[in-house]
Structure 1
Amino acid sequence: MTTAASSTSKNVGLLLAQVAAERGDAVAIATPGRRDADGRRVYQTITFAQLEADSTRLAAGLAALGVTPGTRLALLVKPSIDFVSLVFALFKVGAVSVLIDPGMGRKNLLRCLDQVEPEGFVAISIVQAVRVLMGRRYGQAKMNVTVGRRWFWGGPTIDDLRKTDASHFQPVAAAADDPAAIIFTTGSTGPPKGVLFRHEGFYEQVQQIRDRYDIQPGEIDLPGFPLFGLFNSAMGVTSVIPEMDASRPAAVNPLNIIEPIHDWQITQSFASPAVWNKVGLYCEQHEIRLPSLKRVLSAGAPVPPHVLRRMKNAIHADGDIYTPYGATEALPIASIAASEVLDGTELASAQGAGTCVGRRFSGIQWRVIRITDADIATLDQCEAVDEGEIGELIVTGPVVTHRYFTSEAATQAAKIADGERIWHRMGDVGYLDAEDRFWFCGRKAHRVRTIDGDMFTIPCEAIANNHASIFRSALVGVGEPGDQFPVMIVEPWSDKYPQSREAIDALLEEVRQLCAAHPLTETIHDFLLHPAFPVDIRHNAKIFREKLAVWAEERLNEPSQD
């Protein structure tokens, strides 16, 4: 790393200076506050010029504290102006931001921090209090900044950093391979893993997202996922941060999304499928329109057609909903529009074809290879499958991360060497069609391995989901891999939940008959009803099939009550 900005730098933090030079007086971020006497929401705002100056002062303050390129700092701050400014400050000073979703629970959060061994915490008051009370557990964390009130510990506050003279501070001109952040996966198919992001990855994410969706400076976005606020600021897009718990998106109050869309005439919004499920249903029930909204983005899990349809009906007539596909380790990979889904692929999906995630981004190459659970060291060890044949997806490109920070074994299991390039094993199964679109058929770890061959979750579940009373379903395997038997678990819509044992049996029998009539699901003989599926903490949309498999085995082994 060097400490002078250059035209070849891949530091996303430097993009903010360009935006501030062009749109300095425009609002960069707005956050909801109190209401005025007339009940209207009052927003706290910061311009791009102010954000650029503030993040530079914070970066200078961090440098004065002893932070140098490569210093690992855990960032535990709620979505806010401070959060976005601090992320840019950490980029500018060359620190490695450690980003952990607090919604994963205290045990997983502490385990992640233990693996990373941060050299400091930039965190809200309660986190700093816990850090101090942990004693020697985080004794190596010497560079700590409190965002909020400082109680019984030392170190500067964020307001102290803002007093730093930044006149001689020079942002780090990061090279492509320089480390930028460690972001943890949700742990939906195993323990959370710390993914090491390079500066090039963040820089290319901004470029790829901007170009694919034709996002223009001056647009106004409502980011339902904190890091999208960072991308917005780097693209000259205003971010209006919604009032919601980012770790519990399914619990959002729809009015907290709808109100700022109307207040700010928001043109774009990114959020979990769980958020749009609630917002779309509320808009339909109350005949609410969102005419300023022309571009809706949703990711984290397949977005059901009913969610796409409701949101399509609520937004601008010429607007669309896009579902970018990827993973923490590689994002974005592909994208498809709701208009293409509803007018073309929806029927095929309902009949078990899988979920079409669309066409790849321009910077991505992909292949579908023969499924294996073994490590693959080099690309020449991969066996490609034919078009239309289900296999395992691998991808490469500038947004693809090269390794995990916390586990060399995980790196070996997920990465494939190809000269100077690295391919990532997505952990997803599916196939490419004649138009080079990828059809997602589920997670590799979730496939049911029967004596007659593998069964894949998404195609099979689609058959059960065709029942009008079923909200979603989950195919799980019980027994040893290779000799498993399939179990279909269904979760009804809340307003169609059966209220008696007889009604439950009748519903399950109807689903059983539906599945028996389709070749993908005719071998399933066990059906169970579950009141509310366990889901991931980041998007509240990915189904924890591992937990449901354990639950199903316990239920099926219970003594008969007859």
Structure 2
Amino acid sequence: MTATANIAAVLPRIAAERPEQPAMRCPGGKGTDGFARYDVVLTYGELDRRSDAIAAGLQAYGIRRGMRTVVMVRPSPEFFLLMFALFKLGAVPVLVDPGIDRSALKQCLDEAAPEAFIGIPLAQFARRVFGWGLKTIRRVVTVGTRAWPLWAGETLARLERKGAALLAAKAARGEATAMLADTHGDEVAGILFTSGSTGVPKGVVYRHRHFIAQIDLLRDAFGIAPGGVDLPTFPPFALFDPALGLTSVIPDMDPTRPAKADPRKLHDAIRRFGVTQLFGSPALMRVLADHGEALPTLQRVTSAGAPVPPDVVSTMRRLLPPDAQFWTPYGATECLPVAVIEARELETTREATEAGAGTCVGRPVAANTVRIIRILDDAISFWRDDYVVGPGVIGEITVAGPSATDEYFARPEATRMAKIRERISAREERIVHRMGDLGYFDAEGRLWFCGRKGHRVETAGGLMTTEQVEPIFNTHRRVARTALVGVGARGMQAPVLCVELKSGVPDSEWVHVQAELERMAMRDPKTARIHHFLRHPGFPVDIRHNAKIGREKLAEWAKAQLRGVLH
């Protein structure tokens, strides 16, 4: 018999222990100073009670255990209330980044085959206009005022009132009113779509055991204790805060555009509520680093989604208190965290990174088994130990552990390519996830990230990886960032370096910068094969973190730029 497991199970306990502790503070209206008033507060007691009422209302409306339910709601109390209500019901929330390409978004929703759709009016309007889920959606819930009479269904406010009345009636009869399905660990808890930075986003199937393991790994890896105040600038991460006993301060920013966040608004929230920890993408870290204002209340900063540039790490360390920690965990939607490293150790590896060693991502989290296998583009059905390469040898990073997911929803080919079955005893086997990343272990047992496997450049002279090449050129004083791409057939590719110049560098400087980059290339065997340097006005990046460079698009652009030059 599989034990009951549900990520929402911790909420009633915390609500009973600390009912008046704010679970979250949201921006609300604007003050006379132009900053958000943060006049929307939800306590743990309210979060538990209201999510129970919403769960009861959703259940009465026909949203039941196991039902795939798209949630398109802005970061707000309603988003968190809905997510915990769905977890309590045992329904399956489906989360898709709304800012991805329109055709990819439709494909994601068609693949998920949702039976219910919960969204703000704008999302409901888009659903009707673009035909999302036409064949499968049977239950529609609108969050906020229903401004257009173009869709049927219910409003969240009405369902919450109905659910509260149903629970009050049960209480009057002496019946239990807590809403918590007896889900088991292997039951599907959610479908979270990847950022799609390397193709059409895939729906990662999260089971309840994956969510619970993730909470445990994050708590243990970073030493998170209840009672802290978190500023999570990536909304899905805010879902972990109630399970960890933290107060979430939802930032006044567009979460899909972290590079455009106003640092003054972030600092205002941090000061006002004594924020002790912050999660953000490397793009957001760059915003804070460039702003240059000290962050005296922060005890812990975590940045993930892509490697954090060394200069940003150094600047953030100076802005934080001496005893604060700056963590850069390594992982993916399919498995997080895999490995962690703190900035003090990361800074000792900066010189090696800028000399072409790759980015050190630290040591694997204790519960994970991380191994490097030789580079293979084919599917691997069953694990074999002879796939494993030794220390210092670049290969594909694999991980097996409690938070490693085991399939993509409705994408059997993607599952086949990314998952390996490993027999660990006569009665037991586990799934090994292929990260799709290249890396190696050093002699100290630290993991080094060298770039995406699909982004590797294979020339006649051998393998070139993005994270071993780009940091070398990123040290140039006039360069914002670079991106290595390959043009031509693999094995005979021509390596091309696309270059983004820093803001304010005039066009006339490019000729001089290019000449300097060419000289830098000739000084290092890793880069001596690069003979093509192309200035780009602004790299395409992923919608989720604004940090992962769309190298597939850049490769096509570079190919067009070099048409007639390469043979």
In which range does the TM-score fall when normalised by the shorter chain? over 0.9
Amino acid of the residue matched to residue 327 of structure 1?
A
How far apart are 1:424 and its partner, in Å? 0.3
Aligned to 1:499: 507
State whether structure 2 residue 28 is matched by structure 1 residue 33. Answer: yes
Query: Whole-Å Cα distance in 2 between the matches of residues 221 and 559 of structure 1?
Result: 52
Query: Whole-Å Cα distance in 1 between the matches of residues 133 and 357 of structure 2?
Result: 50
Cα offsets for 1:154-212 (capped at 9, x unmatched): 22211112111234454112211100111111111121111111111111111111111
State whether structure 2 residue 308 is matched by structure 1 residue 313. Answer: no
Contact 1:117 1:138 in 2 (8 A): no
2:56 to 40, 50, 60: 60
Contact 1:23 1:48 in 2 (8 A): yes
How far apart are 1:42 and its partner, in Å? 2.0
1:239 to 238, 248, 255: 248
State whether structure 2 residue 117 is matched by structure 1 residue 112. Answer: no
Contact 1:60 1:169 in 2 (8 A): no
Moved more, 166-175 or 148-157: 166-175
How far apart are 1:139 and its partner, in Å? 3.8
State whether structure 2 residue 388 is matched by structure 1 residue 384. Answer: yes
Query: Whole-Å Cα distance in 1 between the matches of residues 211 and 92 of structure 2?
Result: 12
Structure 2 residue ranges without an equivalent (≥5): 171-176, 424-428
Which runs of 4 or more aligned residues in structure 1 lie more than 3 Å from their structure 2 counterparts after TM superposition?
35-41, 132-137, 167-170
1:221 to 211, 230, 234: 230
Contact 2:70 2:116 in 1 (8 A): yes
Contact 1:19 1:235 in 2 (8 A): no
State whether structure 2 residue 17 is matched by structure 1 residue 22. Answer: yes
Query: Whole-Å Cα distance in 2 between the matches of residues 556 and 375 of structure 1?
Result: 33
Cα offsets for 1:410-435 (capped at 9, x unmatched): 00000000132000000000101122
Query: Whole-Å Cα distance in 1 between the matches of residues 544 and 223 of structure 2?
Result: 26
Q: 1:192 to 1:38 in 2, by over 3 A?
A: closer
Contact 1:331 1:399 in 2 (8 A): yes
| SS of equivalent residue, structure 1 residue 173 | coil
Q: 1:522 to 1:138 in 2, by over 3 A?
A: same
Aligned to 2:159: 161
Q: TM-score, structure 2 length as denominator?
A: 0.93
Give the 5 Å matches for 1:247-266. 247-266=256-275
How far apart are 1:132 and its partner, in Å? 3.5
Aligned to 1:190: 199
Cα offsets for 1:253-302 (capped at 9, x unmatched): 111211100110100010111011011111x2xxx221001111110000
Amino acid of the residue matched to residue 313 of structure 2?
L
Cα offsets for 1:120-144 (capped at 9, x unmatched): 1011112222334456951421111
Contact 2:109 2:132 in 1 (8 A): no
Query: Whole-Å Cα distance in 2 between the matches of residues 382 and 100 of structure 1?
Result: 38
Cα offsets for 1:324-379 (capped at 9, x unmatched): 1101111111111111111x111111111100001111221110011000100011
| SS of equivalent residue, structure 1 residue 494 | coil
Contact 1:376 1:382 in 2 (8 A): no
Structure 1 residue ranges without an equivalent (≥5): 3-7
2:374 to 358, 370, 373: 370
| SS of equivalent residue, structure 1 residue 63 | helix
Query: Whole-Å Cα distance in 1 between the matches of residues 294 and 4 of structure 2?
Result: 43
| SS of equivalent residue, structure 1 residue 34 | coil
How far apart are 1:51 and its partner, in Å? 0.3
State whether structure 2 residue 534 is matched by structure 1 residue 520. Answer: no
Cα offsets for 1:457-503 (capped at 9, x unmatched): 111112212212112111111101111111111112113x2322xx2
State whether structure 2 residue 304 is matched by structure 1 residue 296. Answer: no
Q: 1:136 to 1:304 in 2, by over 3 A?
A: closer
Aligned to 1:421: 430
| SS of equivalent residue, structure 2 residue 387 | coil
Contact 1:322 1:335 in 2 (8 A): yes
| SS of equivalent residue, structure 1 residue 108 | helix
Contact 1:188 1:544 in 2 (8 A): yes
| SS of equivalent residue, structure 1 residue 394 | strand
Give the 5 Å matches for 1:198-217. 198-217=207-226
Query: Whole-Å Cα distance in 2 between the matches of residues 149 and 195 of structure 1?
Result: 32
2:99 to 98, 103, 110: 103
Contact 2:110 2:132 in 1 (8 A): no
Give the 5 Å matches for 1:330-409. 330-342=335-347, 344-380=348-384, 383-409=387-413
| SS of equivalent residue, structure 1 residue 104 | coil
Query: Whole-Å Cα distance in 1 between the matches of residues 218 and 558 of structure 2?
Result: 40
Query: Whole-Å Cα distance in 1 between the matches of residues 339 and 438 of structure 2?
Result: 15
Q: 1:106 to 1:40 in 2, by over 3 A?
A: closer
How far apart are 1:38 and its partner, in Å? 6.6
The RMSD of aligned alpha carbons is: 1.7
Amino acid of the residue matched to residue 180 of structure 1?
A
2:548 to 526, 542, 545: 542
Contact 2:55 2:179 in 1 (8 A): no
Contact 1:249 1:272 in 2 (8 A): yes
Cα offsets for 1:50-76 (capped at 9, x unmatched): 101111111111111112221000000
| SS of equivalent residue, structure 2 residue 37 | strand
| SS of equivalent residue, structure 2 residue 17 | helix
| SS of equivalent residue, structure 1 residue 144 | strand
Moved more, 260-269 or 522-531: 522-531
Amino acid of the residue matched to residue 155 of structure 1?
G
How far apart are 1:558 and its partner, in Å? 5.8
Q: 1:132 to 1:506 in 2, by over 3 A?
A: closer
Query: Whole-Å Cα distance in 1 between the matches of residues 62 and 564 of structure 2?
Result: 60
Amino acid of the residue matched to residue 187 of structure 2?
D
Contact 1:336 1:358 in 2 (8 A): yes
Q: 1:17 to 1:520 in 2, by over 3 A?
A: same
Number of residue pairs aligned between Structure 1 and Structure 2:
547
Query: Whole-Å Cα distance in 2 between the matches of residues 552 and 139 of structure 1?
Result: 41
Contact 2:63 2:116 in 1 (8 A): no
How far apart are 1:451 and its partner, in Å? 1.7
Query: Whole-Å Cα distance in 1 between the matches of residues 472 and 47 of structure 2?
Result: 50
| SS of equivalent residue, structure 2 residue 139 | coil
Q: 1:133 to 1:197 in 2, by over 3 A?
A: same
Q: 1:553 to 1:134 in 2, by over 3 A?
A: closer
Q: 1:38 to 1:547 in 2, by over 3 A?
A: closer
| SS of equivalent residue, structure 2 residue 201 | coil
Cα offsets for 1:103-153 (capped at 9, x unmatched): 113222111111111101011112222334456951421111110112313
How far apart are 1:83 and its partner, in Å? 0.6
Contact 2:35 2:265 in 1 (8 A): no
Amino acid of the residue matched to residue 159 of structure 1?
A
Identity %: 46
Contact 1:180 1:199 in 2 (8 A): yes
Query: Whole-Å Cα distance in 2 between the matches of residues 109 and 259 of structure 1?
Result: 35
Query: Whole-Å Cα distance in 2 between the matches of residues 527 and 35 of structure 1?
Result: 47
Aligned to 2:334: 329
| SS of equivalent residue, structure 1 residue 33 | coil
Aligned to 1:5: none
